[in-house]
Amino acid sequence: MLRMTGIGKSFLGVRVLGGVDLEVSAGEVHAVVGENGAGKSTLMKILAGVHAPDEGTIEIDGRSVTFGHPIEAQRAGVAIIYQELTLLPERTVAENVFLGREPVRRGLVDRAAMESATDELLKSLGEESFGPRDLVRRLSVARQQVVEIAKALSLNARIVVMDEPTAPLADHEVELLYTLVRRLTARGIAVLYVSHRLREIFDLADRITVLKDGARVTTAEASSLDTAGLVRLMVGRELDSYYPPRAAGPPGEVILSVRGGGNARLHDIDLDLRAGEIVGVAGLQGSGRTELAKALFGAEPFTSGEMTPRRPRSVREGIAAGIGLVTEDRKAEGLLPNQRVRDNALLVARATGAPRTGVERLLERVRLSPPRPAQEVRLLSGGNQQKVVLAKWMTVAPRVLLFDEPTRGVDVGAKAAIHDLMRELARDGMAVLMISSELPELIGMSDRIVVLRDGRLVGELPAGSTEEAVMRLAAAS
Ligand SMILES: Nc1ncnc2c1ncn2[C@@H]1O[C@H](COP(=O)(O)OP(=O)(O)OP(=O)(O)O)[C@@H](O)[C@H]1O
Ligand SMILES: [Mg+2]
């Protein structure tokens, strides 16, 4: 159905894709994988008419096409679901599906036609939890994706591109997306699926194309590969074990302690964090995980309860108490993208008056690669950006570091580096708290896991618990 041949692309003289071939069949889930910066998104954007290739051809159903604009790709049957959703939150589902091409009857927008067509599309996707008249802003991210896909179907999309679609989803919502993908392929639609989560790749993909440094390494049947083999193709070397070994001995002294912590979103939080341990936080979307990290840090403080060190009422107090937070949204909250690596790494030191020497050494320690302190942060891959955030905190040597989805959108190699660092920091006596929606990661990294539900800690599980055990606690009602 789709054949891309010899695709090449440079940005500002830097070649990011060269001679890439990609063939996709009707009804196939074709995964595109590779490290950060391998060129996956660029290739997908070329297919979607966002970027024009410098060289190469695209054929759909054997006919050569060129896209000067995303609209042209859309007309040719290509839909792309971006990670940042592009819907209008204050409009209804039906209005979004038909945005810019509303059916008109006697000079007026035919709302009834729009709504019934949307209703049919949603039903065909098995979606019954919301309807055409619901406001988009009331829908979860997972349901907004359903709207995006309904929109793609209404445009007769035959190739649907999903670029890291599960990054904003909570674990239990991933199943919803799987169902959706299967419904699309059952209609003969080809799905191009970009993700860093290998589990999803093996769950969904028929074939896998591996990109490395802008070139295709291989395209293979998913059934002919295993995780280790795929990682080797992506990274170009063996990654022997996924997660660093856990703490050898028992944890040290309690560094942070909360009793009866509460605010508008959290209730009766009792939690101790000890030197040397990594405590995982599990919970469904909306269970209060990010709120817990922000309360401990002082960004959205606890308004009741006892805490040692003294309950921070602001970020400033949190930092002064030796607490750091690696936020979920590093671009918006953790970094100044237009500034250089070095200046970003010094953000916390500058704000607190901590010494600014040794930042180069810290950037080495976090394994920034390539180590270019003068580069603008926005030009770095997700993994490298996260390493800069880590360096930023390490300048003030916090005693407690809270990580909210630390490896979201980060490739396998950088992910392993970040995991190793987290364990190193714990080994050096820090107390580490880690939130992750990726259960294998949470289980692989944590010395114990606490589970949040509706703003309350509802249980604790030891290292090595099963995903089922975690989910059972997180979802029980
Ligand atoms: N608009 C742009 N201008 C300049 N350089 C760009 C632009 N878009 C991408 N790049 C560069 O092209 C390379 C490939 O980027 P791309 O986003 O395609 O990688 P990716 O495989 O999708 O990575 P990730 O896994 O981090 O999403 C990177 O080095 C990136 O910095
Ligand atoms: Mg990308």
pLDDT (tens digit per residue) in 19-69 = 999 999 999 999 999 988 889 999 999 999 999 999 999 999 999 999 999
| Whole-number pLDDT of residue 257 | 98
| Whole-number pLDDT of residue 462 | 95
Among 206, 235, 264, the domain-final residue is 235
Judged against a pLDDT cut of 80, whether residue 189 lies above it is answered with yes
State how beta strands 207-212 and 29-33 pair: parallel
263 lies in the same domain as 335 = yes
| Cα(342)–Cα(447) distance, integer angstroms | 33
Model confidence band, residue 408 (pLDDT cutoffs 50, 70, 90): confident
Which atom of ligand 1 is nearest the CA belonging to 43?
18
What tens digit of pLDDT does each residue of 78-113 get? Answer: 999 876 678 999 999 999 999 988 989 988 999 999
164 lies in the same domain as 296 = no
Q: What angle do CA 167, 170, 171 make, to 5 degrees?
A: 100
Model confidence band, residue 238 (pLDDT cutoffs 50, 70, 90): low
Buried (b) or exposed (e) across 280-294, using 16+ Cβ within 10 A? bbbbbbebbbbbbbb
Burial tier of 32 (Cβ tally within 10 Å: 0-12, 13-18, 19+): buried
Q: Are 247 and 237 in contact (CB under 8 A)?
A: no
Q: Are 219 and 23 in contact (CB under 8 A)?
A: yes
Provide the percentage of residues in the chain whose pLDDT is more than 90: 70
Q: Which two tokens stand for residue 455?
A: 């703003």
Q: What is the residue type of 83? A: Q
For the Cβ of 11 lying below 6 angstroms from any atom of ligand 1, the answer is yes
Among 189, 204, 235, the domain-final residue is 235
| Cα(368)–Cα(370) distance, integer angstroms | 6
| Whole-number pLDDT of residue 379 | 85
| Whole-number pLDDT of residue 240 | 56
For the Cβ of 87 lying below 6 angstroms from any atom of ligand 1, the answer is no
260 lies in the same domain as 227 = no
Which atom of ligand 1 is nearest the CA belonging to 42?
18
What tens digit of pLDDT does each residue of 373-391 get? Answer: 999 998 888 889 999 999 9
Residue 275 CB coordination number (10 Å): 20
165 lies in the same domain as 302 = no
Cα radius of gyration (the chain):
24
Q: Is residue 248 part of a domain?
A: no
DSSP state of 249: S
Q: Is residue 43 part of a domain?
A: yes
20 lies in the same domain as 136 = yes
Q: How many angstroms separate the alpha carbon of residue 145 from the centre of ligand 2?
A: 18
Helix axes 382-394, 412-427, angle to 10 degrees: 20
For the Cβ of 40 lying below 6 angstroms from any atom of ligand 1, the answer is yes
Strand order in the sheet with 55-60: 14-24, 2-11, 55-60, 63-65
297 lies in the same domain as 213 = no
Q: Domain of 156?
A: 2-235
| Whole-number pLDDT of residue 331 | 75
| CA nearest neighbour of 357 among 341, 346, 368 | 346
What tens digit of pLDDT does each residue of 171-187 get? Answer: 778 888 899 999 999 99
Taking the CA of 410 as reference, the closest ligand is: 1
| CA nearest neighbour of 344 among 376, 366, 368 | 376
Q: Which two tokens stand for residue 23?
A: 């063939």
| Whole-number pLDDT of residue 247 | 83
To the nearest whole number, what is the mean pLDDT of the chain? Answer: 92
Q: How many angstroms separate the alpha carbon of residue 41 from the centre of ligand 2?
A: 4
| Whole-number pLDDT of residue 239 | 61
| Whole-number pLDDT of residue 477 | 58
Q: Are 114 and 93 in contact (CB under 8 A)?
A: no
Q: What is the residue type of 432? A: V
Mean pLDDT, residues 321-349 taken together: 91
Judged against a pLDDT cut of 70, whether residue 121 lies above it is answered with yes
Pick the residue whose CA is nearest to atom 1 on ligand 1.
11
- pLDDT, greater one: 44 or 330: 44
Choice from 7, 11, 201 to test ligand 1 binding pocket (greatest atom count within 8 A of CB): 11
DSSP state of 379: G
For the Cβ of 233 lying below 6 angstroms from any atom of ligand 1, the answer is no
202 lies in the same domain as 312 = no
For the Cβ of 39 lying below 6 angstroms from any atom of ligand 1, the answer is yes
Query: Which residue in the block uniquely carries the two structure tokens 């909306």?
Result: 286
340 lies in the same domain as 229 = no
Burial tier of 90 (Cβ tally within 10 Å: 0-12, 13-18, 19+): exposed
Question: Residue 276: in which H helix or E strand, if any?
Answer: none
| Cα(67)–Cα(432) distance, integer angstroms | 48
Taking the CA of 415 as reference, the closest ligand is: 1
CA 299 to chain centre: 22
317 lies in the same domain as 423 = yes
Model confidence band, residue 206 (pLDDT cutoffs 50, 70, 90): very high
| Whole-number pLDDT of residue 184 | 94
Q: Is residue 243 part of a domain?
A: no
Number of domain units in the chain: 2
End-to-end Cα separation, the chain, in angstroms: 46
CATH number at residue 414: 3.40.50.300
What tens digit of pLDDT does each residue of 56-86 get? Answer: 999 999 999 999 999 999 999 999 987 667 8
Q: Is residue 246 part of a domain?
A: no
| Cα(45)–Cα(39) distance, integer angstroms | 10
Choice from 36, 194, 201 to test ligand 1 binding pocket (greatest atom count within 8 A of CB): 36
Q: Is residue 286 part of a domain?
A: yes
Among 176, 204, 235, the domain-final residue is 235
Residue 235 exposure: Cα atoms within 13 Å on the Cβ side: 19
Residue 316 exposure: Cα atoms within 13 Å on the Cβ side: 4
Q: Please tell me the least confidently modeled range out of 49-58, 327-336, 361-370.
A: 327-336
Provide the percentage of residues in the chain whose pLDDT is more than 70: 98
Residues pairing with 79 in the sheet: 160
Q: Is residue 374 part of a domain?
A: yes
Helix axes 171-186, 141-154, angle to 10 degrees: 10
284 lies in the same domain as 417 = yes
Model confidence band, residue 353 (pLDDT cutoffs 50, 70, 90): confident
| Whole-number pLDDT of residue 411 | 84
| Whole-number pLDDT of residue 369 | 82
Q: How many angstroms separate the alpha carbon of residue 41 from the centre of ligand 1?
A: 7
Q: Is residue 226 part of a domain?
A: yes
Q: Are 380 and 337 in contact (CB under 8 A)?
A: no
Model confidence band, residue 286 (pLDDT cutoffs 50, 70, 90): confident
| Cα(346)–Cα(352) distance, integer angstroms | 10
Q: Is residue 242 part of a domain?
A: no
169 lies in the same domain as 317 = no
Taking the CA of 409 as reference, the closest ligand is: 1
| CA nearest neighbour of 196 among 336, 68, 31 | 31
Pick the residue whose CA is nearest to atom 24 on ligand 1.
36
312 lies in the same domain as 191 = no
pTM of the model as a whole: 0.73
Which atom of ligand 1 is nearest the CA belonging to 12?
4
Judged against a pLDDT cut of 80, whether residue 166 lies above it is answered with yes
Q: How many angstroms separate the alpha carbon of residue 239 from the centre of ligand 2?
A: 22
Question: Residue 360: in which H helix or E strand, if any?
Answer: helix 359-365
